[in-house]
Each structure stands twice: as C-alpha cells, then as structure tokens.
Structure 1
C-alpha cells in the first residue's frame, strides 16, 4: 500500500515546489509531475501514475483541481480508482476516499459542483432565450461587409497588394481576408 503523488502545473513558468513539498510531507513515495493545462485531453504523467497504481495504493494530490479537467472528469477518475481499490487523497481539502466519511464528502462535493454547473447552464440558456425574444442574436460582430469583401477581392485580383496590405486597409487579420477570398462574394 503506497502513497503515489501527482502534481500538475499549467505552464512551464509555474513552480511545482509547493506541491512537491506537500506531497512529500504527505508521505508520497513517488511523485508523477505534469507540465500541461488541465483542459488538455492528453496528460501523460497522469496516465503513467494511474497505470502505476495498484489495489490498496492511494493517489495523492494537493487539490482536486490538479487532478480533473472538470467535475465530470474528476468523478470518472475517482470512480475508476475506486473500482480498482485505489484511494484518493486531496491534502489541502481534507478529502480521503479510503475512509467512509471521506468518500461521502467527496461525492457530496462532486454533486454540489455538478448541480452548480447545471444551474449555470440553465441560467445561460434562459438569458440567451430572453435575448433572442428581444431580437438579439449571438456571435461575433461582422468584420467584413459584402461590399468590403468585394473590394478586398478586387485588390487581391489586381496582384499589386499583399494579403497583409489588404488586411491592414480593412483593419482585419489576414485570416479574415483569406476566408473571404475563398468564399464566392460575387453575386450570382
């Protein structure tokens, strides 16, 4: 029964020392370190840590947000650990799923976070529906009108202007110009 640590920082500039100190003080024999954003699907150090763990071991993190990309992902990881007989500890939050009280606390936190997420989604949908009822629609502002797109195409076809010069003329990015050049803006 080993305590295995997992530490993650989002960027190379962030410092791991605080997490590593806490994990070592928490009795971790081995620590897997990740330098990646939590939202990325690929986290090789986490995959390695999960593969390393055996029944009876405990995965230790300083905070739950170091482990999961979202509440749903965190719950999936915790459920997978539980099925394998592996515990989960979050040191700064006092969560320890190797105890009945710790499991209860973890599941309550996950349920509350999921409930909060659902409320945010519901309020967002209500706000969008109210805005649509008032005639407003979402999306970014139109950067190039049809007239400007035709002018940009004409400048491009003259072959005297670079795409960057055309973009600068209209105050848009080169990507915007390229998008309009690939769409047929000539009336049919």
Structure 2
C-alpha cells in the first residue's frame, strides 16, 4: 500500500503543495496533521508508524515534514527498515529501497540538522544584538477582548480547546498561555 504523511506546523499554513505530491505518487491513504515537528509525539505520525506493514511505501513531500532532527528522522527510517517499509521523499528525490537512497538520506539528514543549528545560532545572535541596541521588543502580546466569555464556554464544555483556538484565531500554544494567564489572574 502507498501511504502518505502531510504535516504543516500551524493551522494557518497550507498543505496544498504536499497534497500535489500525494497525488503524483498515487498515495492511497494520507495521514495529515497541523502540529510542530519538535519531536515524534504527533498523533497522525504515531498512527502512521503503527499502521504501516511490510512492503508498504511511505511518501513525504520533504524530510522537514517528517522530522526536525536527524536523530528523529533516522529513528523513523530505522523503524521503516525494520518493518521492511520504503520511504520516498519527493523533494529530495530519495528512495530508501536503493543503496544510494539510504546513503543520501543519512547525508541529507546531517546537513539539515547542521543548517537548522546554524540558523538558530544566527537568530540568537541577531536577537542579542537587537536587544543590546534596544530594538528588540519580542512578539506582540495577544489580547482577546471578553476572554472571560470564551473561557466560560470552554469550562462549561461548550467548546473544546481546538474549537476555542479556531474561534479566537490563535494557535493552541497561544490559547494555552491565555488560559494559564487567565486562571492565574483569577486565582489571586
């Protein structure tokens, strides 16, 4: 069976280009989620990892959709190898059923992690310089008028967190922060 994994980091992002890849490879079943790839603890990824069977092929648009770190990527590939599952990454043109594909996967994973580490380091340096010059203020604080009304709906189970976040137009982590701040302010 040909399976696909599609992931975007936030609800606002669009997975259209990844879905084009799924069509191109005639993917029969797609696992889709809108969460960060900070680790492999993602519901749809875990479902995919449990679902795959010997002889299946998993198609991804690119490696960054599957894993953020080389370690996570290689752990997933190792699990696929154990289950005799092929991984195809369209953007990198890698097919793990070939020796060249296996070699390239290891090299690309290492390069991706190197690039990500360098990017984060440059970002930290830039923020430090901007702070020293008094130019960095951080992200703008998210304020929601009449949050108490929305919070009551959440507490009364009229809305779950996903619905509430969508209604407020914020991400789940931002909603969690708003709820925590609201509860701390009301506990005083």
After TM superposition, the score normalised by the length of structure 2 is 0.58
- CA separation of 1:55 and 1:42: change in aligned 2, threshold 3 A: same
Distance 1:102 1:40 in 2: 24
- CA separation of 1:98 and 1:37: change in aligned 2, threshold 3 A: same
Distance 1:80 1:105 in 2: 18
Query: Within 5 Å, which residues of 2 pair with 1:88-99?
Result: 88-99=87-98
What number of residue pairs does the alignment pair up?
123
Q: Shift of the alpha carbon at 1:69?
A: 2.7
Aligned position for 1:53:
52
Distance 1:109 1:32 in 2: 24
Retained in 1: the 8 A contact 2:3–2:57? yes
* Consecutive unaligned residues in structure 1, runs of 5 or more: 125-174, 179-188
- CA separation of 1:41 and 1:80: change in aligned 2, threshold 3 A: closer
Distance 1:110 1:18 in 2: 22
Q: Which has the larger radius of gyration?
A: 1
Q: Deviations over 1:92-147 (max 9, x none)?
A: 11011011211121122234456x37x96xx99xxxxxxxxxxxxxxxxxxxxxxx
Distance 2:39 2:101 in 1: 28
Distance 2:110 2:13 in 1: 30
- CA separation of 1:40 and 1:79: change in aligned 2, threshold 3 A: closer
After TM superposition, the score normalised by the length of structure 1 is 0.58
Retained in 1: the 8 A contact 2:39–2:67? no
Aligned position for 2:78:
79
Aligned position for 2:144:
none
Retained in 1: the 8 A contact 2:6–2:60? yes
* Consecutive unaligned residues in structure 2, runs of 5 or more: 123-180
